[in-house]
Each structure stands twice: as C-alpha cells, then as structure tokens.
Structure 1
C-alpha cells in the first residue's frame, strides 16, 4: 500500500555540465525520486516556494508530495534523496519538515 507524504524540502538542481540538462525545472515537475539505500524510485511532484522555475545550478525551498510505499524507511527531517531523469542524476533534495503522512 502507498500513502501520500508531504514535506518541505530544499532542492538543489545541478548545473548543465554535471547533469547533462539544458533547461531548469518548472514548478509541478515530477522527476524520479531515489532515496538512499533504495534500489527503486518513487513518484512525487515538486512545487517551488515563491517562484515558478528553478534554473540549472539553483537551489530553493519547495513542497514535495511523495507517493510513498509503506515498506520504505520513514521520512524524517534531514533525509536526502536524488532527483533523476531516467538514469541521469540531475539534483538532490533534503527534507526540512514533514507536513503530513507520518
């Protein structure tokens, strides 16, 4: 069974030379989310706080909603994850606060 977990997070999008991307992200993006120690990704969307886009190489705060499998480890402040597009690691996230779904 899966549940929705909402968190406030810091998002760091790598620059193009590191990620291979040519454009940044628009709010509402749904990259693959890979948590440390897990071999599969989970679904989730990112809504940036106070801005509609995040440029390559940028950082910002965001609200992230994960469709989180119950068998995954708990989401707690400080946990990190990787943002992927296909096999490309394009950025990182770090949970600052858990708002719902604990």
Structure 2
C-alpha cells in the first residue's frame, strides 16, 4: 500500500475464498473508525453477495482473503453471522 494511508470504511474490495476460482462482492464498514491502516485490525460489518454453494461456510471462525485485483491485502474472519 505504498503511498496510501490504508482503506477507508465503505471499501468494496475483492473477497476470495482460498481454493475457489472466483471472488465475491462485499462492502466493508469499519466499526468505530474511518480508516484501517496497514498492519492494523478491527471489527467490521461486511455485507456481501455469496455464491449459494458457499453460504454454509460463513459461520464463526471462517476466514477468507481480502484482495486488490488478484493481490492478497489481508483477511477477514467471521465473528458472528446473520444470513438474510
């Protein structure tokens, strides 16, 4: 992330489940902060559109990659989930 402060809340990166050959869409809203800097972590709410065959994976403890194009920038882990 050379030359950037980090990600702003509301970012819509690529979300990639290791082992899958496709990504899914999701918007990340950081809790209690407007920006997440490199090396930091925080709680966030992620609203996403997940393929039907992957919905069962989304339960506490499940993690996936957060990417820019095909470059892994970090990861997300489910703490709690509500399927709607």
Q: Please, what TM-score do these two structures have when normalized by structure 2? A: 0.89
Distance 1:64 1:73 in 2: 14
Distance 2:47 2:29 in 1: 9
Alignment coverage as a number of residue pairs: 81
Show structure 2 runs of 5+ residues with no match: none
Aligned to 2:59: 76
Across the aligned residues of Structure 1 and Structure 2, the Cα RMSD in angstroms comes to: 1.1
2:41 is the counterpart of 1:40: no
2:79 is the counterpart of 1:96: yes
Distance 2:62 2:18 in 1: 8
Q: Please, what TM-score do these two structures have when normalized by structure 1? A: 0.74
Matches within 5 A, 1:11-30: 21-22=1-2, 23=4, 24-30=6-12
SS of 2:43's partner is strand
Aligned to 1:59: 41
